[in-house]
Amino acid sequence: MSLAPGRWWIASLVALLCLTLVEFSAYRRLVVVLIACAALPVLFARTRHQLWVSRLCWGVAVM
């Protein structure tokens, strides 16, 4: 599946929201939301390095 440039972060945000709704631990949900908020500015990245960092942040958030 290929998303238009600038749209993949919307799909990531929706996926993260679904994952946080499934979680039962309030502490873990809070950590996920905080990491996601920290990663939001990076989601608008333009370079390959910035995209890699934002995807790494999302990966850590959903672990």
DSSP string, the chain: --PPTTTHHHHHHHHHHHHHHH---HHHHHHHHHHHHHHGGGGG--SHHHHHHHHHHHHHHH-
45 pLDDT higher than 70: no
- Full-model pTM: 0.33
Q: How many CA atoms lie within 13 A of 7 on its CB side?
A: 5
Q: What is the mean pLDDT of residues 35-54?
A: 66
Evaluate whether 39 touches 61 at the Cβ level (below 8 Å): yes
Q: Give domain limits for the chain.
A: 8-62
- Cα Rg for the chain, rounded, in angstroms? 12
- Report percent pLDDT > 70 for the chain: 27
Q: What is the structure's pLDDT at 34?
A: 72
Q: What is the structure's pLDDT at 1?
A: 47
18 pLDDT higher than 60: yes
Q: What is the mean pLDDT of residues 21-43?
A: 67
2 pLDDT higher than 60: no
